[in-house]
């Protein structure tokens, strides 16, 4: 064991409570992770001592807030291995980051007949912005199919790639099934036909090493709240030359160099894309979350979570009526399943009665569920603070529920 | 025949026996769902659905001798159980009784707490649809 899970658990106050008369077992980490004390303390401290608007006031508090705000940008740069911190744009989340790219890069560069390639695994937030762009531009959305195990069909991907492909926007790790896509290979193949690649790192960044220079992705998007950080904050990484060439997204304060009624000139990156007052406290409190991940070690986190996943698979393997969904060879710690003759919503409610928090339904991936012929699944997703003992309680509860309809 | 209030009191008493244990309460609700009469397949259509977030409900009603008869189904067992409770309270009543019914058994058994907000909203949608049928029959009777 490389993870001292008990000392990690002590850092997360929310975990220490009872829900419906049972100790809380929080297995909904793919939806959002819990926050360590250091994040909570930083939020409070900021409002108690440093609160002020950034990049403008000529006073001490403004200076402190600005400095800490920019320190987080630098932490993120280092976290994802970007060349420079100007390539890190703050947004409200993964969803806004993708919309930003669609509305700026997409609107400028995609034309009628151009193709955008996504996959069957995508979250709605990596589908709908492209559909909207296609409606406006006449570009065409193409879908990489998957196998029954939930893996991309590589030959189909290669077949779909062609010189008309301008953008490949693909999830790094699937939120619904856990599948890790071979993104390095995808990026190389896409670049070979001249396409740019946006990586949806909402699920991968908390579990896997994601180095934008090693991968050579053009854009990477993710949300702080899935990395033990605050809600309402996301990141868009983009290569400098792309970000500079893109038109601004929202207009307003902060994103301008000079405004006259005749003509406005725009600020340099990253500020060009950060109109208005951002989520300052959340940005500042994201740094201790990143520090927590870095000091724990991504490799350790992945090993621990993967151990929990394998344990859950093993414990539920022979249980009558339990049907795992998504059995890719490479997965993050997502255990999606159904119980024969039961609706996932009922299963989720019965687990909740035992204090076990899971997600049920289509997980914002309706096209994926349609492909699998399912209405939805029950999804248990693990994080660094989860334990083998929790997996045991979960497996027992699932087995009991399964026995109701599967004698 | 017992009144709407009588039946609601019965239900409340049954749930009191179950006590505080949430799991057994849900199991009980699921069992109630199994007592639901089969739903007529010809009415399993989009126009008879009440769309909740995750569970789907089909509901039809007819009038027989001035009384309303409901038939309903769901794709989830817990929701079926809830439907069976509503049908037990409201079936074979006059439209007027249904429209005036105060379904206080729901808060009295702490259903909102047991169900969570998604299903509670679905329950409200079901009750509204049942009352809409009752109103339509009442309007027809008065016409
Ligand atoms: C793979 C994936 N993409 C995008 C999103 C959207 O993230 P957010 O809701 O934080 O914008 C999620 C979150 O559920 C996700 O899992």
Element (H, E) at A214: helix A212-215
Clarify whether residues A215 and A322 are in a common domain.
Answer: no
Residue carrying structure tokens 């001592």? A49
Residue A132 pLDDT > 70: yes
What's the Cα-to-Cα distance from A136 to each of A107, A188, A305, A338, B11, rounded to whole Å?
8, 29, 42, 39, 56
**Is B6 a residue whose pLDDT tops 70?**
yes
Q: What pLDDT was estimated at residue A113?
A: 97
What value of ipTM does the predicted structure carry? 0.89
For residues A78 and A132, membership in a common domain is answered with yes
pLDDT band at residue B142 under the 50/70/90 scheme: confident
Over A42-97, what HEC string results? HHHHHHHHHCCCCCCCCCHHHHHHHHHHHHHHHHHHHHHCCCCHHHEEEECCHHHH
Residue carrying structure tokens 């601004």:
A248
CA-based max dimension of chain A: 76
Q: Is residue A174 part of a domain?
A: yes
Q: Please identify which residue in the block is written with the tokens 């196998």.
A: A147
What is the pTM assigned to this prediction?
0.94
B19 shares contact with chain A (CB less than 8 Å): no
pLDDT (tens digit per residue) in A164-209: 999 999 999 999 999 999 999 999 999 999 999 999 999 999 999 9
Residues A202 and A321 in one domain: no
* Helix, strand or coil, per DSSP, at residue A298: helix
Provide the domain limits for residue A11.
5-30+297-405
Q: Please say whether the beta carbons of A213 and A220 come within 8 A.
A: no
Whether residue B23 and residue A375 make contact (CB cut-off 8 A), yes or no, is: no
Q: Are residues A222 and A317 in the same domain?
A: no
Same-domain status, A156 and A255: yes
Helix (H, G, I), strand (E, B) or coil at A353: helix
- pLDDT at residue A90 is higher than 90: yes
Question: What is the arithmetic mean of pLDDT over B107-111?
Answer: 86
Specify if A125 maps to a domain.
yes
Q: Does A57 score more than 80 pLDDT?
A: no
Domain containing A193 — which CATH number? Answer: 3.40.640.10
∠ at Cα A331 (A330, A337), nearest 5°?
Answer: 125
**Domain co-membership, A193 together with A303:** no
Asked if the model's pLDDT at residue B53 lies above 70, the reply is: no
Mean pLDDT for the stretch of residues A360-372: 95
pLDDT in tens, A252-277: 988 888 999 998 999 999 999 999 99
Residues of B in contact with A350 (CB under 8 A): 23, 26
Give a yes or no: residue A35 inside a domain: no
**HSE on the CB side for B98, CA within 13 Å?**
29
Domain membership of residue A380 (yes or no) is yes
User: Is there a single domain that holds both residue A48 and residue A148?
Assistant: yes
State the first-to-last Cα distance of chain A, in angstroms, to the nearest integer. 38
**Residues A97, A235: contact at Cβ < 8 Å?**
yes
User: Percent of chain B scored above 90 by pLDDT?
Assistant: 69
Count of domains forming chain A: 2
Domain match, A286 and A334 both: no
Residues A285 and A138 in one domain: yes
User: SS3 sequence, B109-136?
Assistant: CCHHHHHHHHHHHHHHHHHHHHHHHHHH
Same domain, A282 and A304: no
Which residue, A272, A294, A316, sits at the end of a domain?
A294
Is A171 close to ligand 1, i.e. is its CB under 6 Å away? Answer: yes
Strand partners, A26: A357
How many interchain CB pairs under 8 A, A with B?
A: 39
What pLDDT score does A1 carry? 52
Nearest Cα to Cα of residue A200 among A179, A224, A219: A219
Q: Which of A269, A294, A319 is the last residue of a domain?
A: A294
DSSP B71: E
Q: How far apart are CA A57 and CA A53, in angstroms?
A: 7
pLDDT tens sequence across B56-102: 899 999 999 999 999 999 999 999 999 999 999 999 999 999 999 99
Q: Is the Cβ–Cβ distance between A144 and A119 less than 8 Å? A: yes
**Structure confidence at residue B120 (pLDDT):** 83
Q: Quickly list DSSP for A354-390.
A: TTEE-EEE-TT-HHHHHHHT-S-EEEEE--TT--HHH
Contact partners, residue A280, CB within 8 Å, separation at least 6: A46, A51, A53, A54, A65, A69
Going by their DSSP bridges, the two strands A234-238 and A88-91 should be labelled as: antiparallel
Q: For the segment A145-154, what is each residue's pLDDT rounded down to a tens digit?
A: 999 999 999 9
Q: Confidence class of residue B19 from pLDDT cuts 50, 70 and 90? A: confident
B48: which 2 tokens? Answer: 């008879």
Ordered by where they begin, the domains of chain B are 4-142 (3.90.1010.10)
Residue A366: how many CA atoms within 13 Å on its side-chain side? 5
Q: Do A264 and A344 belong together in one domain? A: no
**Residue A361's CATH number:** 3.90.1150.10
Q: Final residue of a domain: which of A266, A294, A322?
A: A294
Residue A76 has pLDDT above 60, yes or no: yes
What does the pLDDT read at residue A15?
Answer: 98
Q: What is the pLDDT of residue A228?
A: 98
Mean pLDDT value across chain B: 91
**CB–CB of A100/A93 below 8 Å?**
no
Check the CA dihedral A20-A175-A142-A233 and report its sign.
positive
Asked, for residue A184, whether it belongs to a domain, the answer is yes
Average pLDDT, chain A: 96
Taking the CA of residue A30 as reference, the ligand 1 atom at the shortest distance is 16
Counting DSSP H helices and E strands in chain A, the numbers are 15, 17
pLDDT of the residue at B13: 94
Is B53 assigned a catalytic role?
A: yes
Q: How confident is the model at residue A56 (pLDDT cuts 50, 70, 90)?
A: confident
Please pick, among A235, A339, A350, A364, the residue that the annotation labels catalytic. A364
Closest Cα to atom 14, ligand 1: which residue? A31
pLDDT at B52: 65
User: What's the average model confidence in pLDDT over B101-121?
Assistant: 85
pLDDT at A253: 86
Name the phi and psi angles at B136, rounded to 5. -60, -40
Q: Rounded to 5, what percent of chain B is helix, strand, coil?
A: 65, 15, 20
Helix, strand, coil % in chain A, rounded to nearest 5: 45, 20, 35
| Chain A nearest C-alpha distance from B134 (Å) | 30
pLDDT reported for residue B129: 93
Q: With a cut of 90, say whether residue A293 has pLDDT above it.
A: yes
Peptide bond into A270 cis (omega under 30): yes
Chain B residues 67-86 within an 8 A CB cutoff of chain A:
75-78
Q: How far apart are CA A154 and CA A144, in angstroms?
A: 8
Length of chain A: 407
pLDDT value at residue B121: 83
Report the distance separating Cα A15 and Cα A391, nearest Å: 15
| Residue B119 pLDDT grade (very low, low, confident, very high; cuts 50, 70, 90) | confident
* Same structural domain, A147 and A287: yes
Mean pLDDT of A351-362: 96
- pLDDT tier, B123 (very low <50, low <70, confident <90, very high otherwise): confident
Inter-chain residue contact A354 with B23, CB threshold 8 Å: yes
Strands (E), A154-232: 165-171, 196-200, 219-223
């Amino acid at each position: 064991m490389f993870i001292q899970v008990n000392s990690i658990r002590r850092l997360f106050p929310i975990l220490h409570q009872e829900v419906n008369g049972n100790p809380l077992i929080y297995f909904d980490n793919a939806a959002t992770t819990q926050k360590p004390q250091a994040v909570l303390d930083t939020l409070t401290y900021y409002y108690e001592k440093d609160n002020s608007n950034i990049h403008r006031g000529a006073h001490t508090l403004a200076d402190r807030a600005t400095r800490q705000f920019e320190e987080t940008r630098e932490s993120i740069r280092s976290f994802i291995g970007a060349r420079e911190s100007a390539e890190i744009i703050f947004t409200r989340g993964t969803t806004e980051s993708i919309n930003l790219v669609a509305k700026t890069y997409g609107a400028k560069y995609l034309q009628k007949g151009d193709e955008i390639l996504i996959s069957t695994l995508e979250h709605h937030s990596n589908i709908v912005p492209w559909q909207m762009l296609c409606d406006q531009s006449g570009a065409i959305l193409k879908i990489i199919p998957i196998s029954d195990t939930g893996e991309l069909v590589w030959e189909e991907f290669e077949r779909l790639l062609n010189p008309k492909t301008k953008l490949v926007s693909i999830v790094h790790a699937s939120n619904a099934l856990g599948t890790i896509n071979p993104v390095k290979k995808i990026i190389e193949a896409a670049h070979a036909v001249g396409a740019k690649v946006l990586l949806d790192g909402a699920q991968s960044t908390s579990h896997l090493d994601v180095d934008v220079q090693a991968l050579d992705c053009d854009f990477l998007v993710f949300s702080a709240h899935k990395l033990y950080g605050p809600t309402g904050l996301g990141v868009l990484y983009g290569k400098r030359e792309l970000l500079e060439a893109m038109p601004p997204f929202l207009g307003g304060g902060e994103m301008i160099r000079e405004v006259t009624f005749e003509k406005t000139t725009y600020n340099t990156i990253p500020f060009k894309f950060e109109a208005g007052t951002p989520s300052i406290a959340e940005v500042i409190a994201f740094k201790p979350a990143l520090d927590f991940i870095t000091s724990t070690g991504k490799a350790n986190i992945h090993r621990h979570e993967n151990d929990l996943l394998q344990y859950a698979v093993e414990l539920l393997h022979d249980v009558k009526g339990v049907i795992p969904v998504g059995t890719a060879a490479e997965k993050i710690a997502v255990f999606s399943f159904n119980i024969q003759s039961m609706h996932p919503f009922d299963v989720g409610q019965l687990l909740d009665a035992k204090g076990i928090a899971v997600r049920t339904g289509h997980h914002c991936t309706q096209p994926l569920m349609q492909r699998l012929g399912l209405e939805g699944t029950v999804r248990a997703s693990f994080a660094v603070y989860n334990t083998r003992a929790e997996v045991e309680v979960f497996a027992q509860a699932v087995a009991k529920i399964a026995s109701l309809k599967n004698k | 025949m017992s009144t709407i209030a009588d039946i609601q009191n019965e239900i409340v008493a049954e749930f009191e026996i179950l006590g505080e244990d949430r799991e057994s309460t849900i199991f009980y609700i699921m069992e109630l769902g199994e007592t639901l009469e089969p739903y007529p397949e010809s009415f399993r259509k989009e126009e008879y659905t009440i769309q909740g977030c995750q569970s789907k409900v089909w509901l039809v009603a007819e009038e027989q001798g001035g009384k309303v008869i409901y038939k309903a189904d769901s794709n989830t067992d817990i929701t079926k159980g809830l439907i069976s409770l509503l049908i037990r309270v409201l079936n074979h009543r006059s439209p007027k009784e249904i429209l005036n019914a105060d379904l206080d058994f729901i808060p009295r058994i702490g259903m909102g707490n047991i169900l969570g907000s998604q299903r509670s909203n679905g329950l409200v949608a079901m009750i509204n649809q049942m009352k809409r049928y009752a109103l339509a029959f009442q309007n027809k009777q008065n016409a």
